[in-house]
Amino acid sequence: MRADAVRNERAILLAAHRLICENGVDQVSMNDIAAEAGVGKGTLFRRFGDRAGLVGALFEQLTVDWETGALDRLADPAVPPLHRVLAFVTELFDRMVVPGRPLLRAMDGHHGEERIRHYRLWQEHLAKVIGEFRPDGDFLAHAVLATPRGQFVDLLIDGGMTLDEVRTGVVAFTHTTLTGALLPPDLHPPPSACTGWRPTGGRRRPPAPPTGRVGAGSRPSRAQPSARPPGRP
């Protein structure tokens, strides 16, 4: 991609993120984004195809930009594994769920393969860390990731909860699910806000899955089935 095309893409994604964060995706048009980015409307359509394509590209860039650092922090052996998981879930809520809910609605089911690929990567890394202190890390990683899903968050907010109440509840649920204990006050996350994101120069490949079997060394071995049913010759 030429240097001017890279600059235009960065400007478009940054403008789209800023406008959507401030006004909501339903209140932002392609004309608004083009004017904010300082490019022609035709540039948007040539680069992204349509509004869903632009929103999908923004969601992908947000994901990749957050994902690399988040997975590095999740793997940091200097931090207790439970604290790493809680920090990851908090970041996931702030950096992906909050800005991503309206984006997912605007994408209208497009880019499903990319979202599944990221989900599997997060689940594998989470399972490895949870496996350091629980034997059922693989299942629990799925359970932890199921809670902050956009549709679930929408349901709670439509029912009258605030975003910060949902966020605290998600982190508390994660803690209780993994430990069986209530979340201590000192681990409650501070209030969230729409973050000041800046796109990177180009789209990067996401990190590779963790090496070795997920949760290896901590998952109990499964009993092998008998070669023939009991009592049968």
Q: Is pLDDT of 30 > 50?
A: yes
Burial class (CB in 10 A: 0-12, 13-18, 19+), 71: buried
Mean of the per-residue pLDDT values of the chain: 80
- Which pLDDT belongs to residue 67? 93
Q: Is the pTM of this model over 0.85?
A: no
State how far Cα 21 lies from the chain centre: 17
Please spell the DSSP secondary structure of 89-142, one letter per residue.
HHHHIIIIIHHHHHHHHHHTTTTHHHHHHHHHHHHHHHHHHHTTT-TTHHHHHH
Q: Is pLDDT of 228 > 70?
A: no
Distance CA 212, CA 214 (A): 6
Distance CA 85, CA 141 (A): 9
User: What integer is the mean pLDDT of 7-30?
Assistant: 86
Q: Which domains does the chain have, with CATH numbers?
A: 51-187 (1.10.357)
Please spell the DSSP secondary structure of the chain, one letter per residue.
--HHHHHHHHHHHHHHHHHHHHH-GGG--HHHHHHHHTS-HHHHHHHHSSHHHHHHHHHHHHHHHHHHHHHHHHT-TTS-HHHHHHHHHHHHIIIIIHHHHHHHHHHTTTTHHHHHHHHHHHHHHHHHHHTTT-TTHHHHHHHHHHTT-HHHHHHHHHTT--HHHHHHHHHHHHHHHHHSSPPPGGGSPPPP--------SS--PPPPPPSSSTTTTTSPPPPPPPSS-TT--
User: What integer is the mean pLDDT of 66-81?
Assistant: 95
State how far Cα 34 lies from the chain centre: 27
Contact at 8 Å (CB) between 148 and 97?
Answer: yes
**Which of 42-51, 94-103, 193-202 is predicted most confidently?**
42-51
Contact at 8 Å (CB) between 21 and 13?
Answer: no
- Which pLDDT belongs to residue 7? 86
**pLDDT, tens only, 106-145:** 665 555 787 889 999 999 999 999 999 999 999 999 999 9
User: What integer is the mean pLDDT of 162-178?
Assistant: 93
- Which pLDDT belongs to residue 141? 97
Residues 6+ apart with CB under 8 A from 9: 1, 47, 199
Answer with the residue of higher pLDDT: 26 or 72: 72
- Read off the tokens for 2: 């030429």
Q: Is pLDDT of 224 > 50?
A: no
HSE-up (13 A, CA, CB side) for residue 186: 1
